[in-house]
Amino acid sequence: MEQIYAQRVLSIKLGQSGQYEKECIENNTLRLGYREVDHQFCITQQWDKVHNYFTTEAGAKSFVATSHTNQVKQFYEEGPDTLWITFYANKLWWCFSNPEITLWDDKTKTRPVIGSWSDKDINGNLLLSGNISGKLLKTQGFRGTICSVIEHKYALAKINGEQMQEVVEVEQALANLKTKLTLLIQNLQWKDFETLVDLIFRQAGWQRVSDTGKTQKTLDLDLFAPVTGERAIVQIKAQSNIHEFQDYLKKFELMNNYDRFFYVVHTFVSTLNRIPEQEDNKVNLYLVDKVSELTISAGLTEWVIKKTT
């Protein structure tokens, strides 16, 4: 999909409490309430009469009437080069629309979307609300129906799958940190590596059931996740190869009382990382680069630095 451009970016709420959201998304329309506003005044651009309605009949203060009038005007007059966004089902949706207004029997008004609403960026990635800046999300708190998006450059960049330069630099720095941290982890003493793995799982919410590694050669850590109720075993190896991994995997398959198996390797034989991951996520092979990534996520970077200096 080609990069999109827009003269303006507007946020619209599709009905009070989102009552028109599903219908508009499915039927590819924008819908406006303001049932009491005379449709003829709007299509003939008599905005002074619309403003007068809000001040006299609706009893609104002048600045409030101006705000309402501007919102209705934008719905009626914004051209096809204006980008419209809304939030629905925990996602950002966007579209362009032609100013062809239809008045419905219930006095609501609609205008057609050009093409269709989209909840994906131009690369096909979902625009999940959880991955969007709070600066853009705060448009949901606007008390009216239509408002200009102050963070319009960010909105366009998000839809175009672009990243801010600062984000790119942070990602590069994070990748560099992971690479350098991997080297430090490889220099850890064996006992410190075991301790690091234990700390990583604890930070992730796992609880150690018992120190079974001293008595059972099949596993080093016996873990329990109190939130999900899962049981897991962890085997930590200083060095391993594909044949040894497969032997442990066969032993795990006989342990019906465990839900997950983690095989963590400090120094690996090159063929070991070619083993495909299990789709059900029951078996997890963690090599030292994955341990580095988990160390960062768990906030244990300084711990590794202190242990290696």
What does the domain layout of the chain look like in residue ranges?
8-159, 165-308
Residue range 159-174: mean pLDDT, rounded: 85
Residue range 107-129: mean pLDDT, rounded: 96
Per CATH, is 165-308 categorized as 3.40.1350? yes
Confidence grade of residue 226 (pLDDT, cut at 50, 70, 90): very high
DSSP 115: E
Rounded to whole angstroms, how far apart are CA atoms 48 and 114? 30
What residues form DSSP beta bridges with 262? 234, 284
pLDDT 10s digits, 274-302: 555 555 678 888 999 999 999 999 999 99
Q: Which two tokens stand for residue 196?
A: 């690091």
Element (H, E) at 43: helix 39-43
Q: At residue 183, what is the residue type?
A: L
Q: What share of the chain in percent tops pLDDT 70?
A: 93
Query: How far is C-alpha 29 from the chain's CA centre?
Result: 25
- Report in angstroms the alpha-carbon separations of 187 from 57, 175, 203: 78, 19, 22
- Report in angstroms the alpha-carbon separations of 89 from 119, 129, 139: 10, 9, 15
SS3 at position 249: helix
- For residue 44, the model assigns a pLDDT of 96
- Residue 253 and residue 245 in contact, taking contact as beta carbons nearer than 8 Å: no
Rounded to whole angstroms, how far apart are CA atoms 20 and 29? 10
